[in-house]
Structure 1
Amino acid sequence: MFETIRYDVKDGIAWLYLNRPTKLNAFIAQMNREVKDAIKAASSDDQVRCVVISGEGRAFCSGQDLSEVDENMDHGQVLRDHYGPMIMQIRKCEKPIIGAINGVAAGAGFSLALACDFRLVSERASFLNAFVHVGLIPDSGNLYYLTQLVGQAKAAELSILGEKVSAADAVDMGLANRLISVETWEEDVHAFATRLAALPTKAIGLIKRSLKAVTELSFEDYLEQEAQGQRIAGLTNDHREGINAFMGKRKPVYSGQ
């Protein structure tokens, strides 16, 4: 089904691997489309309760494949046609998305990592806002997310100086959630994804809506959306299961419905 990514669903988890390892998983237009299509498929698949995005080989994603760039290219149109739709599909997904950053995440690869809900980083991982090194600005939603995560001053530093951020420093500055050793990488990523997949999926989607609304709505409008979201959550099977489990003093078993 896909040529530039590997996509598998197992035990409620959709595993999406960028699959151009000899090019450090650099983006080409086909990869943009395939990531978008895979996230869309995961969003509509009731069997999927969590998505993991990672990279094959030693890199997460090195950014745009510069062999596809020429001096006559309209970079803005490339964003409108390819990167924007991909990032928007990720943003619309109401299932939790983990960025499993196994190696370098540079340029648009950094942007892809930022668009995820969680960033788990291998000790071998690093982040680089590389755009300034080729005379461009961060794109694919990069500064939108980066500023929220680390603040405007740090976002400016990372973007204007274009310095590499180690995995440990990424965790310290709030750019990443967990630092994982190379020895336990696959096991720990799987355990984290399994934990998310066992949670009430509908409630997670509503939490994601509320998190987006924080930056988009007035406080009054936010409170109304919060009330609407809580009404929807209160009607789910998982809410009833949570209450019944609490009353029965047992561990809840959520269905994602």
Structure 2
Amino acid sequence: MTSDIPGVDTTVDDGVLRVTLNRPTRMNAVTTETLDAVADSFDKYAGDAAVRVAVLTGTGRAFCTGADLGGKKTSGPPSSATIDAANRTAAAIRAFPRPVIGAVNGPAAGVGVSLALACDLTIATESSYFLLAFTKVGLMPDGGATALVAASIGRARALKLALLAERLPAREALAAGLIADVFPDNEFAASVDALTRRLADGPSEAFHLTKDAVNDATLTELDNAFDRERTGQLELLTADDYKEGVAAFLEKRPAVFGRG
């Protein structure tokens, strides 16, 4: 089956739920609708005993490049609905009772980092990178990123990523403990399939309880992070720095903050 929402493909085959962001012309940047469609897919199959593993990935050259700031006019800027949809999606992936593979097939930026790290086993192509790009447009990380990143790599490195908005190449992300593995680009599809099959053929309930135990121990602040990020982001979305950041992004020039 396929989602009714353009930009998200959902299939179930041989025990595997595959949720694919499919907006390649926008580098899989997401809107409120596409985020809700991803969350709907995980919610719908959470109680399906036939599903033994899930894969979240992207089509084309990117995994997900964050919220769509320059797409169709109808998409508009991020709003409270977008933030809520991002939080709902990360929470749905976290709560899914089967292992979720985050198959990062290209850049993961903005909320794309949140989606990738909400997964249980995040793996990436060698050419991929991770970028918390929020401060470049005068915003703060959301989608649970302030908890998800810090839980993996600690406060110092999380703050460096969040404040400086610098790219973290996949190999460095692996060395830092942000993700589980990296594969050469030309071996990635086969590697994802092999890992998917290994999990699908494994002890589902043992995986379920293990996933919940590790996540409960390490993501104790996730729900609070959703609330803090929502409050902060809604304030930032009304500020002059955000307007300048988006204008600079669309005009492909450096932003000049603090002039409002």
Q: Scaled by the length of structure 2, what TM-score is found? A: 0.78
1:78 maps to which of 73, 78, 82: 82
The reply to whether residue 164 of structure 1 matches residue 193 of structure 2 is no
Shift of 1:18: 0.2
2:205 matches 1:210: no
Q: Does the CA-based 8 Å contact 1:4-1:30 persist in structure 2? A: no
The change in CA–CA distance for 1:142 and 1:216 in structure 2 (over 3 A counts) is closer
Aligned positions, number = 213
The change in CA–CA distance for 1:176 and 1:65 in structure 2 (over 3 A counts) is same
CA contact (8 A) 1:35 1:86 kept: yes
Taking the aligned partners of 1:188 and 1:198, their CA distance within structure 2 comes to: 15
Q: 2:180 aligns with which of 177, 182, 191?
A: 177
Q: Which amino acid aligns with 1:120?
A: I
**Aligned-pair Cα RMSD in Å:** 1.5
Q: Which residue of 1 aligns with 2:135?
A: 132
Measure how far apart 1:69 and its partner are: 3.9
- Read off the aligned partner of 2:171 and give its amino acid letter: A
Q: 1:199-228 deviations in whole A, cap 9, x for unaligned? A: 1111111112212332477xxxxxxxxxxx
Summarize the Cα distance change of 1:163–1:216 in structure 2 as closer, same or farther, 3 Å threshold. Answer: closer
Q: CA separation of 1:42/1:174 partners in 2, compared to 1, >3 Å: closer, same or farther?
A: same
Distance in 2 between residues matched to 1:99 and 1:215, nearest whole Å? 18
Q: Deviations over 1:144-180 (max 9, x none)?
A: 1111100000000010011001111111111111111
Check if 1:12 corresponds to 2:15: yes
CA distance in 1, matches of 2:215, 2:127: 31
Paired amino acid for 1:53: L
Give the match for residue 61 of structure 2: 58
Output the CA distance in 2 between the equivalents of 1:134 and 1:210: 36
C-alpha contact (below 8 Å) 1:99/1:117 kept by paired residues? yes
Structure 2: tracts of 5 or more residues without a match = 221-260
Distance 1:77 1:187, change over 3 A: closer
Q: How does 1:89-108 map to 2 (within 5 A)?
A: 89-108=92-111
Rounded Cα–Cα distance in structure 2 between residues aligned with 1:40 and 1:200? 21
Matched, 1:114 2:117: yes
1:176 is paired with a residue whose SS is: coil
CA distance in 2, matches of 1:179, 1:185: 8
| Alignment partners' CA distance in 1, 2:21 and 2:164 | 27
Contact 2:151 2:219 in 1 (8 A): no
Q: Encode CA deviations 1:35-89: one digit per residue, 9 max, x unaligned.
A: 011111231221110001110000000000013344xx6x445323x21222221
Q: Superposed, which structure 2 residues align to 1:219-238 within 5 Å?
A: none
Go from structure 1 to structure 2 and tell me whether the alpha carbon gap of 1:168 and 1:216 turns closer, same or farther (over 3 Å shift): closer
**What residue in structure 1 maps to residue 155 of structure 2?**
152
Normalising by structure 1, we get a TM-score of 0.79
Identity of aligned residues (%): 35
Q: 1:135 to 1:178 in 2, by over 3 A?
A: same
Q: Which has the larger radius of gyration?
A: 1
For the residue of structure 1 that corresponds to 2:20, the secondary structure is: strand
Kindly report structure 1 stretches of 4+ aligned residues shifted beyond 6 Å. none
Does 1:26 find its partner at 2:29?
Answer: yes
Partner of 1:193: 196
Secondary structure of 2:103's counterpart equals: strand
